[in-house]
Amino acid sequence: MDMRLNGRTAVVTGASRGIGLAIAAALADEGMRVVAGARTISPELAKTGASTVAVDLSTAEGPSELVAAALELGEIDLLVNNVGGGDGGEGQLGGFLGFSDEQWLQAYELNFLSAVRATRAALPSLVRQRGAVVNISSHGARMPHSGPVTYTTAKSALTAFGKALSEEFGPQGVRVNTISPGAVRTSLWEGPGSYGAALASSLGLAHEDLLAGVPSSTGMTTGKFVAPEEVAALVTYLASPHAASVAGADYVIDGGSIKTV
């Protein structure tokens, strides 16, 4: 299906790997001019043909710097607030009492305030273009017990933020939607020193054995991790004119992990 995105401009945060990289590649394949931001510009991101900006999106200035770079090329039609997570497993498994103020602030700066700041900077252009915002949240926003509480509550804030934005800016022509993936096989699960590696160690399991068991242990009826490309495909649809009446929605891609209606 032609998504009718050719020639439009997208800004993607956290695009060097995983879901963000897949999104940047998918949008570029649709003919969009992609401006991609990340702390480190990976070779894989460079190969997508995106215009890249090396920037720390967890800082107060980083998101606006990325948007400013995009505006130098023209108006913005799509903002994808993807940056998030925090791949390190150290200090993430001790429960609520194990988190310091600094860890809470770090989680909210990266997973929530980065989206607030990028959206604030991009909205004037998005209003002029009658554009779209897609926030990448997590199914943990609906099941806050399912991961580190700093991360899941920050994602809950991001999901609520998207709904509020949709109500305020929908009448001005800006569609805002959220995607909430479940377990996606990215560096958060796979990398050395990652959350997945730390979790495996805490359970006395080999890392690969943990990964093999994640789909069943988290109730994924599909029996497999979500692929980053699946999330990217939904982003392209939500950004397109084919989704002109989709606004304020939260799409869950979690392999059936959430069992409630």
CA distance 130 to 140: 30
For residue 251, indicate whether it is catalytic: no
**Which residue type does 175 have?**
R
Q: Are 12 and 35 in contact (CB under 8 A)?
A: yes
> Active site residue: 108, 151, 195, 251, which one?
151
End-to-end CA distance of the chain: 30
- Strand 51-54 to 78-81 pairing: unpaired
3-class SS of residue 253: strand
CA distance 108 to 141: 13
Catalytic residue ranges:
151
